[in-house]
Structure 1
Amino acid sequence: MMGDSAKKQEALNTLNGISYNDWMEIRFKIDKYFSDQLSKYEKQLKLDSQYTNSHY
């Protein structure tokens, strides 16, 4: 299994030499991915909280 620093270096090596527009597209997709993950996490926390409040 690759360590975090090795994964980061591999990602940087992959991105090396791409155009600015390609970089912005990748950045947008990364931001969207993490935003979606955060929304799912917050939704689950809300559901967990509602369940806990209704059962205690």
Structure 2
Amino acid sequence: MTLTAEAATSAAPMRRRAGLVPFVVTVFAFTVVMAGATMPTPLYGLYADRMGFEP
């Protein structure tokens, strides 16, 4: 199958946009997981006091 120059140039932005969506979703998921993993860490001092954790 042969594409004309016009068809090839009009398809290029669509490919870039199609690759952007999975990237943004991946970055968002990574950010949510990392934030969820690190947010409880500063609360450890409170948990230790209330629940009697020993170092």
Structure 1, gaps ≥5 residues long: 1-15
User: For the residues of structure 2 that align with 1:26 and 1:47, how far apart are their CA atoms?
Assistant: 33
Q: TM-score, normalised by structure 2?
A: 0.60
| Root mean square deviation of aligned Cα | 1.4
Which structure exhibits the higher relative contact order, with contacts defined as CA atoms closer than 8 Å and separated by 6 or more residues? 1
Runs of 4+ in 1 over 3 A off after TM superposition: none
| Alignment match, 1:50 | 35
Do structure 1's residue 26 and structure 2's residue 11 form an aligned pair? yes
Query: What residue is the counterpart of 1:4 in the other structure?
Result: none
In structure 1, how many angstroms separate the alpha carbons of the residues matched to 2:12 and 2:40?
42
Aligned residue pairs total 41
Q: Report the Cα offset of residue 55 of structure 1.
A: 3.9
Question: Could you say which structure has the larger radius of gyration?
Answer: 2
Deviates more, 1:34-43 or 1:17-26: 17-26
- Could you tell me the TM-score, scaled by structure 1's length? 0.60
Task: Give structure 2 stretches of 5+ with no counterpart.
Answer: 42-55
- State the distance in 1 between where 2:22 and 2:10 align: 18
